[in-house]
Structure 1
Amino acid sequence: MGIEIIDYIKASGGKIIDTLGGSSSIQSDYNNNDSEDDSNERVGLAIALYIVVFSVLFLTLIFSKKIIKIVRHTEVMIIERFGRYHRTLNPGIHILAPFIDSPRVIHWRYVDLPIGAKKTQVMIQNTDRIDMREHVITFGRQHVITKDTVQINIDALMYIQVTDPMAAVYSVQNLPDSVELLAQTTLRNIIATLTLDDTFSSREFINSQLKDRTMKDAERWGVTIKRVEVMSIRPPKDIKQAMEMQIQRDREKRSAILHAEGEKESMIVKSKGLAAKVVLSSESDKTVSIQNAKGFAESRRLKSQADAEVIRLIRKGIDNSNVSTTGYLVSSNYLDKLSQIPTPETQLYLLPETSFNFATSISKSIKND
């Protein structure tokens, strides 16, 4: 509006000046006002240009964020065109068609049990990217019943990996939640076929059965189950106390058995030692007896030789007399024995007088022979 006023003044300026009888100073004021209007017009144009450039840059940034997609390593992105599946973006930079292509936003709900926590937490994740790395799904504590109707609490882990992103998004509504519920149901069915003792001693069997039974459904959802692990099995308190008492009794029983076996081994070793000692003693006594017998036999042999030599000499000495050799030897031995009777340790008994003629009678009988 200011420009229109100035143009009007310029058009009618001469008439106004002539009518009022103006001077040249008024004309110079008009010229100054005209230059100021030109500078203001340039400033307005510059501001408008800045606004347009900023708007273009802002819109370009917004559209570039919508159109240009950078997919990181180990991730993929599902792209839909007009609400239908179009393609899967692998790691790298990609340009989408504006207004018709858009990434599929995935809403995943899962239960998480942080390390050291006692309660599980429900986590909700909204993302347009699918992580292709291996994931760990932590089950909450499950109340299951064994074959012998004992209620126990069991915790488990499942390691899964997405292998088919399209199936993971379109084949199941909530992948983590579905895999968790499937594993929990399968675990209850497996535990129901085992007794309490079998449950504690068959962890490897439970892990393998749980993996095999859930593998088919998991593959249909575009997931591969890598491994399943049972973390802990907790029986009720009364059964736990009974089991601890049973374990204590078993330990005491094993200790008593080991002690008895130790004593048995000790007695066997001692018996073997005594037997060896007896054998060695018998061998020693046998050797001593043999040596004594040999010595006695040798002494008897030598004595016999000496007696024979004595008899030979006696016979030679009394050969020319009427004395019998046998009678001589008997009388000689009799007198020797008779001389040994009176000792301090023995008692002497006097026999009738006829007994002293015993040697004479023997000698005569031998001589007569």
Structure 2
Amino acid sequence: METGTVVGLVIGIIVVLILIRTVFLGFIVVKEREAVIIERFGSYHDTFMAGVHWKIPYVDRTKPYRYQYFVTKPGTEYTVLEKGTTDRIKVTNEVIDFPSTSVITRDNASVLLDCILSYQITNPKQMIYSCNNLPLLLSKILQAFVRNMAAQLSIDQIIEESATLNAASGLMNEEVSKWGVKILFVKVQKVIAPGLDDVLGKQKDAQLRNAKIVIDARSHKQTAVIESEGQRDSMIRKQEGSTQEQISQARGRATSIINIATAEARSVKEIARALQKEGTNPVRYLLSLKYLDTMRAILNNPNTEVKYLPMETATVQIMKELGLNTFYTPNQIF
């Protein structure tokens, strides 16, 4: 075989091998729940999901995905740096155990919260072109939301109701949904409170002081109410007693007046009966008695001035129109 033929044959074999290798280099096998971003001449071209795909060698290339973030090493309290570069984007549920986050509670207590976060990439293209180093970005957002929520809670609420902080997942979804990422849950694994005994002791003292103030206030209020009710009842009883006394006095006076009037009526009847037997007018007799009583009252009054008149003026005092005489002669009878 001639030398030229051998050289041509070798070159042909080399070209065929290069073509075969180039064709094989274009094949990409993507596993289930993974995604590969393909760029052509530096621009987005396609997204390869699970299956066998082919790209044009030396024209199309995979988009690299870089990450770097700190995590807590499982079973320890140590923090390690996770970093790497890959062209395979996992669309499975990912869980990251971030380092403990220091927060300040509403009652100014310093607390360390050990949180884990679960997320899922729902749109690989949107994620890889919207943010760089997604885990680190999620850790910073988680810290911001957890600190903001913890500042609204007391240390007791954080310890006893740590599930309240889990609501951060819903708030974070509003922020990361534009990156093609979904937050599945946020869980607080552990609450570490340095100097917790001092904080709880101060809270307990404050609660006891507040309770004492409330009890004293209620006691004073009840005492004031009882005293006012006693004064009110006493006033009511005094008023009732005074009313009853006035009623009794009025009844006594009325009874006395009735008795006096009854006695006078009986006396008048007896006098009238006796005078009628003698032929004397009882009316004139009674009027004379009333006249004498009235004169006695007038004369007994210290403001009354008495003047004596001669007998010649006696006739002037006679008032026959009324049937009465101020003075009367011995020969004049009723």
TM-score normalized by structure 1? 0.51
Say whether residues 1:72 and 2:31 are aligned partners.
Answer: yes
Offset at residue 66 of structure 1 (A): 3.4
In 2, the alpha carbon distance for the partners of 1:185 and 1:55 equals: 59
Match of 1:282?
none
Counterparts of 1:14-33 in structure 2, within 5 Å, are none
Match of 1:191?
150
Contact 1:146 1:192 in 2 (8 A): yes
2:196 maps to a residue whose letter is I
Match of 2:103?
144
Match of 2:91?
132
Task: Name whichever structure is richer in helix by fraction.
Answer: 1
Match of 2:75?
116
Contact 2:109 2:199 in 1 (8 A): no
Rg bigger for which structure? 1
CA RMSD of aligned residues (A): 2.7
Contact 1:79 1:87 in 2 (8 A): yes
Contact 1:132 1:163 in 2 (8 A): yes
Offset at residue 83 of structure 1 (A): 0.8
Match of 1:230?
188
Specify every segment of 5 or more residues in structure 2 that has no aligned partner in the other structure, as ranges: 205-334
In 2, the alpha carbon distance for the partners of 1:240 and 1:163 equals: 45
The structure 1 residue matched to 2:122, chosen from 163, 183, 191, is: 163
Once the two structures are superposed, residues 110-168 of structure 1 have per-residue CA deviations (whole angstroms, 9 ceiling, x without a partner) of 22222112212111121111111100021111111111111111100111011011111
Counterparts of 1:240-279 in structure 2, within 5 Å, are 240=197
Offset at residue 65 of structure 1 (A): 4.6
SS of residue paired to 1:99: coil
Specify every segment of 5 or more residues in structure 1 that has no aligned partner in the other structure, as ranges: 1-38, 248-369
The structure 1 residue matched to 2:58, chosen from 92, 99, 122, is: 99
In 1, the alpha carbon distance for the partners of 2:157 and 2:137 equals: 28
Contact 1:105 1:128 in 2 (8 A): yes
2:92 maps to a residue whose letter is R
In 2, the alpha carbon distance for the partners of 1:58 and 1:146 equals: 66
Once the two structures are superposed, residues 93-115 of structure 1 have per-residue CA deviations (whole angstroms, 9 ceiling, x without a partner) of 11112332211111122222221
Once the two structures are superposed, residues 28-84 of structure 1 have per-residue CA deviations (whole angstroms, 9 ceiling, x without a partner) of xxxxxxxxxxx7x56x965774575256425632x2353111111111111111111
1:53 maps to a residue whose letter is I
In 1, the alpha carbon distance for the partners of 2:105 and 2:186 equals: 20
Query: In 2 relative to 1, CA 229–74 (structure 1 residues): closer, same or farther, beyond 3 Å?
Result: same
Query: Size of the alignment, in residue pairs?
Result: 204
Counterparts of 1:299-338 in structure 2, within 5 Å, are none
Offset at residue 175 of structure 1 (A): 1.2
Match of 1:53?
13
Say whether residues 1:217 and 2:175 are aligned partners.
Answer: yes
TM-score normalized by structure 2? 0.56
Identity among equivalent pairs (%) = 30
